Amino acid sequence: MKGGSKYQPLLEYLQRSDRPEITLSFTEIERLMGDSLPDSARNERRWWGNRSKGALQASAWMNAGYVVAEVDLGKEHVTFRKPTSGYKVQSVAHTVHWNSDSIKALRLQMGLTQSQLAEELGVRQQTVSEWENGIYEPTRATSKHLAMVAEKVGFKYTELRTQESG
C-alpha cells in the first residue's frame, strides 16, 4: 500500500490493535484519517467490500489483518474483524468441497449479502441460503467458481485432501 494513501492512518490504527473485532463510526474513521470519507462510503455497501485489488480503503484494513464483517449505513458504523486462521474445506479429485460454514465465511469476508454473492456466482439468493443452511451443496462447477472467487479476494482456506475410492 502506498504510504501516501489517505487510509494509511486507518491501517496504522488497526495494526496497533490486538482486538479481534473493532467497531468504528464513520466519523471516528474520518477523525483518524484527518479527511472525509467519499459519499460512496455512506451510500454504497460495496465500498466496504473486502477486495484485494483496486481499492485503497480495503487494502488498508486487509493489510492490517482485518476484514469488514458488518456495515450499517443507517447508523454509519463498520465492524472490522480479524478472520480466523482459515477454514477447512475438503478436496475431492482436486475440486474443493465447500460446506455451509466456508461459504458463509467467504461471503462475510467479501462483505456481501446472500443476494450479492448469488449475483456474483450467477445463482439465486435462495440457493446461497440453502448452501449456508446445509440443505444443499454446490455443484462441482460452482465449487470451482467459488474457489476462483475465494482466491481473487484472498480468502484463506486449507484443502483437506481425501482419497477417491476406485
Which CATH number fits the domain 87-162, given the four candidates 3.30.360.10, 1.10.260.40, 3.40.50.150, 3.30.300.340? 1.10.260.40
- The pTM of this model reads 0.53
Tens of pLDDT, residues 9-55: 998 999 898 888 899 999 999 999 999 999 999 998 889 987 766 67
Residue boundaries of the structural domains of the chain: 8-81, 87-162
Residue 80 contacts residue 68 (beta carbons within 8 Å) = yes
Q: What is the pLDDT of residue 121?
A: 85
Q: What is the pLDDT of residue 23?
A: 94
Residues of the chain scoring pLDDT < 50:
1-3, 91-92, 162-166
Q: What is the pLDDT of residue 68?
A: 85
In the Cβ-directed half-sphere of 136, how many Cα atoms lie within 13 Å?
A: 10
